[in-house]
Amino acid sequence: MTIPASRKLWLGFAVAMLWLYVLLWPLLGIKPEGLEFAASTAIWAKVAVVSAILLALWQLKGRGVFDFASRPAQALSQALGKATGRVATWIWLVLVFAGAVVFPLVTERYAHDVAISVLVYICLGLGLNVVVGMAGLLDLGYIAFYGVGAYTYALLSVHFGLSFWLCLPIAGAFSACAGCIIGYPTLRMRGDYLAIVTLGFGEIVRIVLNNWMSLTHGPNGILGIKPPGAYWWQDGHIEHIWLGSLEQFYYVILGLAVCTIVAVHRLNHSRIGRAFEAVREDQTAAELMGVNTLGIKLLAYSLGAIFGGLAGAFFAARMRFVSPESFTFIESAMVLAMVVLGGMGSIPGVILGALALIALPEIFRGFELYRMFVFGGVMAMMMLFRPKGLWPAKRMGVRSEERD
Amino acid sequence: MAPAFHKAQHVEVFLQQLVNGITLGGVYALVALGYTMVYGIIQLINFAHGEIFAAGGYMGVILISWMVAQGYPPFVCLGVALVLAMGYCALLAMAVEKLVYKPLRSSSRLSVLLSALGMSIFLQNGLMLTQGVYDRAYPGEMVQGGFEIGGAVVSYMQVVIVGITVALLVGLNALVFKTRVGKAMRATAQDKTMSALVGINASRIISLTFAIGAALACAAGIMVGMYYGSVRYDMGFVLGVKAFSAAVLGGIGNITGAMLGGLIIGMIEVFAAGYISSEYKDVFAFIILIGVLYFMPTGIMGENVDDTRV
């Protein structure tokens, strides 16, 4: 980097920091008791120092100062990549799966609890991934389907005593219906209108759950939901136990997550998956190639809804309590952040995203309040620096722009 | 449910709702303008706009409480706070635009939308972290009293709010349709390349559009705070969606349309809350949004929306 370019960079940095101070100080410094500068200056100084260091490092990296360290590191990572690449994918999958199965045997209750939430969010993230990642439809009301699934099981369990396993497909079907009802009028719209309309629908579902007292008990929620049962045949009649402990819940959701992963993977490689991708890349071209675009979008939307509904039914069984509070817009944004962070359209990416967004904050417990703040910022910055996510999706086939 | 009214009372209730509807509708119109102007110029739904509105409400409460504590008269407090907070929000919106939207100008629509959403979450939680999770109350003694027309009570607060709203709307109209800068804005919205060829600095005009939209939203935030007596860090979310509905209803990209749309949405919300159900009052705006997009996507005053950028 030349000297003038560098000077310009630092000048821009100085202006940005000045701007930051002007924006930060009034929020923290003006109090009815008087003006104070200490708190905002302290925060500002931290931000300024950290970003100055990062900027300097980035500049030095551009000049090749770190080549002595980065070259061997790169060579090492390449060698590692080659070595791991030689091991077949299925061995990795078996290893990961075995790790997941053994996990509750070697950990504590608290870790089980966190692992269960991670798995629930993996299911949700994969479902949303079908809609956003594969079909390219930005859905900001996805959590509504989670809510529909949860309330379906909750109501069926409380009023009719139906079994979890019977309700699971019913919840999926209900969510799919909800997806069709919401999708049919909205999916003709252009991408960004769709985002805000799905947001509206998500809010409508929550408001209805909150106010339909006779059905949902409003904000009080529904209590007394049964956990899943395990059934077997013994001495001429059916025996059963309730799978009420955390470990048992863990295995139930692990099974559900594995099914979801397999289903989404198969979907990705199917004709329908290709059609999703075609609609995402260029709707007009897809239509010209004979893809029924509205039908495909509706399919993507309701398939995503099914996974959401299944996860919702499990959530109701796990908590044994549902209330509208669990289905706010922030939850939708969380799931979306997972998909975006991990890499849109990529299954391992979504799993990574769920781990990062659910498990990391558990480790940094003290920063609980800053969670959404950081994720919002990261989501915006990801689009600038790594729009394809942490683990980008592999694209299938050969593209014309790559061939040239 | 509404009790059975006498005929005279019917008229009174109707008038009262009308007054409330005008007050609320004006506020929606102010926020809707920011959405519509930004959309008109760069075809982006600026999700962070609702948060700018909330930030305006907070700046209002911060500045007014400070100045009231210093012992300035209420109207001076309000005026100075309005001007300072509007400047603050303009700076905030310009920072967001420079930092996040500008580098993404040539990226796919989905990624710009996602970064806008990320920015909205970021700002909302930033407000929560600096200002706390609980409501912040506006000083109560700002504008008191009221008068009665035909049985409907009009508070002076409502008069002040409507007055400020009208002044801002007239000012904006003058700026956009009477000045050189306004002409440049309209030209950029129409055709960015062509306007760049005739010497308009598009990037400055876009910045300016964000700033103006933010200043209007900020004024709306302060007035909503005064009207309801308090502000909350997440108040921008629902109001943002409603204001966006107003912008769509009026025809996105159309300034007069946004004003009209805001007024209509405000009226519908107030009357629906009064006559149908107050629990579901937030739902009506969404239903209108969906209905308009489905049956009349160009809105009341909109021109044909270019459909190539799906």
A383–B115 CB contact, under 8 Å:
yes
pLDDT at residue B34, as a whole number? 93
Looking at the complex, report in whole angstroms how far the Cα of residue A197 sits from the nearest Cα belonging to chain B: 6
Rounded to the nearest integer, the mean pLDDT of chain B is 87
Q: Please name the member of B68, B110, B244 whose beta carbon is closest to the beta carbon of A196.
A: B244
What's the pLDDT tens digit per position in B80-96?
999 999 999 999 999 99
What's the pLDDT tens digit per position in A101-141?
888 888 888 889 999 999 999 999 999 999 998 888 888 99
Residue A368 has pLDDT above 80, yes or no: no
A211 close contact with B: CB closer than 8 A: yes
Residue A404 has pLDDT above 50, yes or no: no
Helix (H) or strand (E) holding A121: helix A109-128
**Chain A positions in Cβ-Cβ contact with residue B245 (cut-off 8 Å):** 200
| Rounded mean pLDDT, A59-85 | 82
Residue B100 has pLDDT above 70, yes or no: yes
pLDDT at residue B310, as a whole number? 31
Question: Cα(B165)–Cα(B142) distance, rounded to whole angstroms?
Answer: 17
Report the residue of B59, B70, B125, B245 to disrupt the A interface, i.e. the one with the largest count of A CBs within 10 Å. B125
Mark which residues 95-114 of A lie under 8 Å from B by CB: none
Q: Considering the domain boundaries, does residue B227 fall inside one?
A: yes
Q: How confident is the model at residue A399 (pLDDT cuts 50, 70, 90)?
A: low
Q: How confident is the model at residue A395 (pLDDT cuts 50, 70, 90)?
A: low
Q: What percentage of chain A exceeds 70 in pLDDT?
A: 97
Decide: residue B72, CB within 10 A, 0-12 exposed, 13-18 middle, 19+ buried.
middle
Question: Cα(B108)–Cα(B144) distance, rounded to whole angstroms?
Answer: 51
Q: Which residues contact A185 (CB under 8 A, 6 or more apart)?
A: B290, B294
A197 close contact with B: CB closer than 8 A: yes
A22–B63 CB contact, under 8 Å:
no
* Residue B256, token pair as written in the block: 């007069």
Q: Please name the member of A28, A30, A383 whose beta carbon is closest to the beta carbon of B104.
A: A383
In DSSP notation, chain B reads -PPPPPHHHHHHHHHHHHHHHHHHHHHHHHHHHHHHHHHHHH----TTHHHHHHHHHHHHHHHHHHHHHHT--HHHHHHHHHHHHHHHHHHHHHHHIIIIIGGGTTS-HHHHHHHHHHHHHHHHHHHHHHH-SS-EEPPTTSS--EEEETTEEEEHHHHHHHHHHHHHHHHHHHHHHHSHHHHHHHHHHH-HHHHHHTT--HHHHHHHHHHHHHHHHHHHHHHHHHHHSEE-TTHHHHHHHHHHHHHHHH-TT-HHHHHHHHHHHHHHHHHHHHHT-STTHHHHHHHHHHHHHHH-TTTTT--PPP-S--
A383–B114 CB contact, under 8 Å:
yes
Its pTM stands at 0.88
> Residue B230: what are its φ and ψ, rounded to 5°?
-155, 165
Looking at the complex, report in whole angstroms how far the Cα of residue A370 sits from the nearest Cα belonging to chain B: 8
Looking at the complex, report in whole angstroms how far the Cα of residue A241 sits from the nearest Cα belonging to chain B: 42
Q: Considering the domain boundaries, does residue B141 fall inside one?
A: yes
**Chain B positions in Cβ-Cβ contact with residue A19 (cut-off 8 Å):** 91, 95
Q: Considering the domain boundaries, does residue B263 fall inside one?
A: no
What's the pLDDT tens digit per position in A171-200?
999 999 999 988 888 887 777 788 888 888
Q: How confident is the model at residue B170 (pLDDT cuts 50, 70, 90)?
A: very high
Is B211:B26 a contact under the CB 8 Å cutoff? no
A204–B286 CB contact, under 8 Å:
yes
> Is the pLDDT higher at A263 or at A68?
A263
Is A137:A201 a contact under the CB 8 Å cutoff? no
**Other beta carbons less than 10 A from residue B109's beta carbon:** 19
B291 → chain A, closest CA residue:
A185
Question: Cα(A307)–Cα(A232) distance, rounded to whole angstroms?
Answer: 27
Instruction: Tell me how far the alpha carbon of residue B297 is from its chain's centroid.
Output: 21
* Residue B1, token pair as written in the block: 């449910």
Q: Please name the member of B111, B125, B286 whose beta carbon is closest to the beta carbon of A372.
A: B125
A31 close contact with B: CB closer than 8 A: yes
Question: Cα(B309)–Cα(A189) distance, rounded to whole angstroms?
Answer: 12
A369 → chain B, closest CA residue:
B129
A333 close contact with B: CB closer than 8 A: yes
A189–B66 CB contact, under 8 Å:
no
B241–A340 CB contact, under 8 Å:
no
Instruction: Give just the sign of the alpha carbon dihedral A202, A204, A207, A212.
Output: negative
∠A231-A235-A238 over CA atoms, to 5°? 25
Q: Considering the domain boundaries, does residue B271 fall inside one?
A: no
pLDDT at residue B266, as a whole number? 93
pLDDT at residue B308, as a whole number? 37
Q: Considering the domain boundaries, does residue B111 fall inside one?
A: yes
pLDDT at residue A50, as a whole number? 93
Question: Cα(B57)–Cα(B14) distance, rounded to whole angstroms?
Answer: 29
Q: Considering the domain boundaries, does residue B260 fall inside one?
A: no
> Residue B86: what are its φ and ψ, rounded to 5°?
-65, -40
Smallest Cα–Cα separation from A184: which of A305, A297, A275, A304?
A: A297
Q: Considering the domain boundaries, does residue B169 fall inside one?
A: yes
**Chain B positions in Cβ-Cβ contact with residue A381 (cut-off 8 Å):** 115, 118
A380–B91 CB contact, under 8 Å:
no
Looking at the complex, report in whole angstroms how far the Cα of residue A17 sits from the nearest Cα belonging to chain B: 11
What number of H helices and E strands is found in chain A? 18, 6
| Rounded mean pLDDT, A18-23 | 90
Looking at the complex, report in whole angstroms how far the Cα of residue A384 sits from the nearest Cα belonging to chain B: 7
* Domain count along chain B: 1
Residue B5 has pLDDT above 60, yes or no: no
Domain around B126: 22-233
Q: Considering the domain boundaries, does residue B69 fall inside one?
A: yes
Residues linked to residue A238 through DSSP beta bridges, in sequence order: A233
Question: Cα(A268)–Cα(B101) distance, rounded to whole angstroms?
Answer: 31
Looking at the complex, report in whole angstroms how far the Cα of residue A212 sits from the nearest Cα belonging to chain B: 10
* Residue A342, token pair as written in the block: 């991990």
Q: Please name the member of A26, A203, A372 whose beta carbon is closest to the beta carbon of B62.
A: A26
**Chain A positions in Cβ-Cβ contact with residue B117 (cut-off 8 Å):** 140, 333, 336, 379
Looking at the complex, report in whole angstroms how far the Cα of residue B290 sits from the nearest Cα belonging to chain A: 6
Q: Please name the member of A31, A197, A382 whose beta carbon is closest to the beta carbon of B293.
A: A197
Residue positions counted in chain A: 404
Is B11:B146 a contact under the CB 8 Å cutoff? no
Decide: residue A224, CB within 10 A, 0-12 exposed, 13-18 middle, 19+ buried.
exposed
Q: How confident is the model at residue B6 (pLDDT cuts 50, 70, 90)?
A: low
| Rounded mean pLDDT, A311-338 | 91
Smallest Cα–Cα separation from B96: which of B118, B72, B69?
A: B118
What's the pLDDT tens digit per position in B195-222?
889 999 989 999 999 999 999 999 999 9
| Rounded mean pLDDT, A241-262 | 90
Question: Cα(A394)–Cα(A70) distance, rounded to whole angstroms?
Answer: 26
A380 close contact with B: CB closer than 8 A: yes
A185–B290 CB contact, under 8 Å:
yes
Question: Around A9, how many Cα atoms within 13 Å sit in the side-chain half-sphere?
Answer: 13
Instruction: Tell me how far the alpha carbon of residue A178 is from its chain's centroid.
Output: 20
A44 close contact with B: CB closer than 8 A: no
Question: Cα(A205)–Cα(A200) distance, rounded to whole angstroms?
Answer: 9
Residue indicated by tokens 């008087």? A34
A376–B123 CB contact, under 8 Å:
yes
A383 close contact with B: CB closer than 8 A: yes
B130–A197 CB contact, under 8 Å:
no
Residue A317 has pLDDT above 70, yes or no: yes
Q: Please name the member of A186, A284, A387 whose beta carbon is closest to the beta carbon of B290.
A: A186
Q: Please name the member of A186, A369, A380 whose beta carbon is closest to the beta carbon of B115.
A: A380
Question: Cα(A143)–Cα(A163) distance, rounded to whole angstroms?
Answer: 24
**Buried residues in A326-340 as b, exposed as e (16+ CB within 10 A):** bbbbebbbbbbbbbb
Domain borders along chain A are 3-75, 92-395
Residue B1 has pLDDT above 60, yes or no: no
B129–A378 CB contact, under 8 Å:
no
